[in-house]
Amino acid sequence: MKVFRGLVLGACVIGLGACSNYQAHSEVKALNEAQAVGSPFTQYLAGEYRDYTNRELNEMFDYPDALHFARKGLAAAAGEVVMPEPISDWNLNPQHMEELSTARGRLVVAFDLGAREVAAQQAAIAQARFDCWIEQQEENWQAADIAGCKNQFMEAMNALEGMVKPSAVMEPVAEVAPEPTEPMKVEDAMYLVFFDFDKSAVAASGESVLDAVGQEVKGRSLNTVNVVGHTDRAGSRTYNNRLALKRANAVRDALIDRGVDAALIKVDGRGEDQNLVATDDNVREPANRRAEITFE
């Protein structure tokens, strides 16, 4: 038995490409035949990975990546929640690493705020396009494919961030409440605008969030619109306090441009003191580089 296993291993070492090819075909076939179970999110995600692995296998002839994503698809089809690709698992240059880290942070925060539950299909598309983007970016030679995956991810994320709010994932109350006169309680509303590292300008990804805030303010009778800026823990505390306030003021200006009364807006900066994701000092964390918008 040991001799037999040694012969098989030797054959795979000699013909590594053939073994990878065989495994990829086998597991993609299994994914194609799988009946997805679990939540709507895991079922949609299994379908997204199924489409991507078939393309990697049959059009790109990329057997190792087809095998990798087929396994993620099979896990999703079995009802498991699989995460978007870790940045550290891919060989990226520093510029792309920073950009993809920011993108992944936005996606994880959206998941934490309930995106998988309230927008299952859109959340699955966002994860699959992120994984496509990082895989294509590591190869770094098919510009059209990189741009396609990235642009589709950004579109999905903009939609998600406009839809996801903490109140959307609250547990249902036990007794029947009267029909609300507003879509949510004022104190329950929260919007998040994320920023690039060491930047205070509102990125394109935040525009749809601010559009939603502007529409929400117009439909309510509010006393205050609170805008609080935050940073990650990279840099000094003094610098981060200033940067957080700059971010809050950038959001304030953008809301005024959308017709929000300046007299309603109150800005503050908390620097690195109230992180969404706990980190050690001097760690860059995209999810912590944000402005929070709430109402009173």
Residue 129 and residue 38 share a domain: yes
Amino acid 168: pLDDT: 38
Q: Decide which of 166, 193, 211 is a domain's last residue.
A: 166
Q: Among 103, 135, 166, identify where a domain stops.
A: 166
Q: In terms of domains, do 117 and 233 share one?
A: no
| Domain assignment of residue 40, given as a range | 18-166
Q: What pLDDT shows up at residue 24?
A: 65
Whether the pLDDT of residue 5 is over 70: the answer is no
Q: Do 141 and 204 share a domain, yes or no?
A: no
pLDDT tens digits for range 106-136: 999 999 888 998 899 999 999 999 999 999 9
H-type alpha helices, the chain: 2-14, 16-33, 40-58, 63-77, 94-112, 115-118, 120-139, 143-163, 204-218, 237-257
Residue 185 pLDDT > 70: no
Does the residue 8 lie in any domain?
no
Predicted local distance difference test score (pLDDT) of residue 176? 41
Tell me what the mean pLDDT of segment 10-27 comes to: 54
In a domain, 172, yes or no: no
Tell me if 92 is assigned to some domain.
yes
* pLDDT at site 11: 39
Quick check: is 56 in a domain? yes
Q: 192 or 244: which carries more pLDDT confidence?
A: 244
Same domain, 30 and 138: yes
Q: Into how many domains does the chain fold?
A: 2
Residue 122's pLDDT is: 94
Answer with the one of 133, 166, 199 that is the final residue of a domain: 166
Q: Do 24 and 139 have their domain in common?
A: yes
Which of residues 53 and 193 earns the better pLDDT score? 53
% of the chain residues with pLDDT over 90: 42
The answer on 147 and 61 residing in a single domain is: yes
pLDDT reported for residue 211: 87
Q: What is the pLDDT of residue 9?
A: 33
Question: Is 108 found in the same domain as 214?
Answer: no
Which of 15-19, 75-79, 121-125, 161-165 comes out lowest in average pLDDT? 15-19
- Same domain as 194, residue 250: yes
CB atoms within 10 A of CB 96: 18
